[in-house]
Amino acid sequence: MTGRPRPAIAALPAYRPGRSAAAAEADHGIVGAVKLASNEAPFVPLPSVAGAISAGIEQVNLYPDHGAVELRSDLAAHLGVDVEQVTVGAGSAGLLQQILLSYVEPGDEVAMCWPSFEAYPLFALLVEAEQVRVPLRDETFDLPALAAAVTERTKVAFVTNPNNPTGTVVGTDEIVTFLETVPSTCLVVLDEAYSEFVTDPGVVDSTPLISTYPNLVVTRTFSKAHGLAALRVGYTVGNPEVIAMIDRTLVPFAVNSLAQRAARASLAAIDEMRVRVADVVTERTRVTAALRSAGWTIPEPQGNFVWLPLGDLAADVGAALERRGIVARAFPEVGIRVTTSDAAANDRFVAALDDAANDLGIRPT
């Protein structure tokens, strides 16, 4: 092996993104495949956002503002917090990695319920932490069990709300109980990448909790509801001391100028964004009803996707969907996650799932 890489990095598995439609078409000899594997927004940027991006093109020869001062100021005003309580990074995933780099040493524990966001284990391996995985209960984070698993060695505990890939939520009151239970030495990372899609009345804005629980940080993103996935911009809200520590691990100029401009324009058009989110939620409700009417068991979805807990049937059903031009995200032995897209793509998915089940001789479960 050339050079001497860290053993932990040499053994680190690569992150596996959702398959592209082109890859599925090449593998199966089909055309017109649609990708529903990565929870991408089904709409192009808002006109004002596209205009902000275009207006910044002529300045790409210049470095961006490393501190994203204007974007942080806009976010603070939007969230009703002090500027010192907000930071930005290369998507919420980049910020999650920064948090572990800032707080976790080799041998420390990182706790999470599982299955959840696939990047958590990769980031834990990156810092050579020990992973503590607690099984979900009814496809949902089991916060009492997660709290019981936290020890004095636990530096970070992830709470994913809504959970990815199952789309379920825990109520804000449950999160408060969890925060009251775990020691203040454990940083609780509330990952809210899909928060804009939540309609469950038991989930309310979590940012006010930060003033009571200084070990709480909330991560969110512009990738999903705002539809800016390619630009890689997310944000974290927390105690100023924690935010300052996270900032120390930000790669220089990680959030480019176009991303900052787009995020600011999207915040300025927040009402238009919410209309689009409402359209996605309407489609999510329609798809869920159709699947349940067909006999499928679907946990109540709160993200921009639905979850089929298929267990050992997941890989076969995922492959069968691909052959029919629907590229979903199959988690072998666990289930299939399917992005809620526009009506035409959603109808194709429902029909393809019915056809695949018939072809495989599977009864909806």
Per-residue DSSP letter, 138: T
Q: Is residue 7 part of a domain?
A: no
**Predicted pLDDT at 340:** 98
Report the alpha-carbon angle 65-70-72, nearest 5: 100
Same domain? For 145 and 292 the reply is no
Per-residue DSSP letter, 66: T
Q: Is residue 9 part of a domain?
A: no
Q: How far apart are CA 42 and CA 346, in angstroms?
A: 11
Same domain? For 38 and 54 the reply is no
Same domain? For 328 and 226 the reply is no
Q: Is residue 8 part of a domain?
A: no
The H or E element that residue 68 is part of is none
Q: How far apart are CA 86 and CA 69, in angstroms?
A: 10
Q: How many helices and strands (H and E) does the chain possess?
A: 13, 12
**Predicted pLDDT at 18:** 86
pLDDT exceeds 80 at position 214: yes
Q: What is the mean pLDDT of residues 27-45?
A: 95
Q: What is the mean pLDDT of residues 316-344?
A: 97
Which sign does the torsion angle of CA 134, 235, 329, 344 carry?
Answer: positive
pLDDT exceeds 80 at position 1: no
Q: Is residue 146 part of a domain?
A: yes
Indicate the number of domains in the chain: 2
Q: What is the mean pLDDT of residues 215-220?
A: 98
Same domain? For 249 and 291 the reply is no
Same domain? For 215 and 286 the reply is no
Where residue 17 falls among pLDDT bands split at 50, 70, 90?
confident
Same domain? For 204 and 134 the reply is yes
CATH code where residue 342 lies:
3.90.1150.10
pLDDT exceeds 80 at position 70: yes
Last residue of a domain, one of 224, 242, 268: 268
**Predicted pLDDT at 149:** 98
Same domain? For 237 and 344 the reply is no
**pLDDT per residue over 255-295, tens digit each?**
999 999 999 999 999 999 999 999 999 999 999 999 999 99
Amino acid at 242: V
pLDDT exceeds 90 at position 33: yes
**160: helix, coil or strand?**
strand
CA 107 to chain CA mean position, Å: 26
Strands, E assignment, the chain: 34-35, 86-89, 109-114, 130-135, 154-160, 187-191, 216-221, 234-238, 305-308, 326-327, 329-331, 335-339
DSSP sequence for 289-322: HHHHHTT-------SSEEEE--GGGHHHHHHHHH
Q: Which long-range contacts (CB under 8 A, 24 or more apart) does 283-290 make?
A: 283/340, 283/341, 283/342, 283/343, 283/346, 284/197, 284/340, 286/343, 286/346, 287/340, 287/346, 287/349, 287/350, 290/350
Q: Is residue 32 part of a domain?
A: yes
Do 260 and 70 meet the contact criterion of CB atoms below 8 Å apart? yes
Q: Give 134's strand partners.
A: 113
**pLDDT per residue over 143-179, tens digit each?**
999 999 999 999 999 999 999 999 999 999 999 999 9
**pLDDT per residue over 304-318, tens digit each?**
999 999 999 999 999
For residue 280 the two structure tokens come to: 């996605």
For residue 216, what are the domain limits? 47-268
Q: Which of 168, 167, 140 lies closest to 339 in space, CA to CA?
A: 167
Same domain? For 111 and 147 the reply is yes
Same domain? For 83 and 154 the reply is yes
CATH code where residue 87 lies:
3.40.640.10
Last residue of a domain, one of 268, 299, 321: 268
Same domain? For 138 and 29 the reply is no
Last residue of a domain, one of 268, 286, 312: 268
Average pLDDT, rounded, for the chain:
96
Do 168 and 139 meet the contact criterion of CB atoms below 8 Å apart? yes
Where residue 353 falls among pLDDT bands split at 50, 70, 90?
very high
Q: Give the best-scoring range by mean pLDDT among 56-60, 273-277, 361-365.
A: 273-277
Q: Is residue 4 part of a domain?
A: no
Same domain? For 278 and 243 the reply is no
Same domain? For 163 and 282 the reply is no
Q: Give 9's strand partners.
A: none
Q: Is residue 313 part of a domain?
A: yes
Q: Is residue 12 part of a domain?
A: no
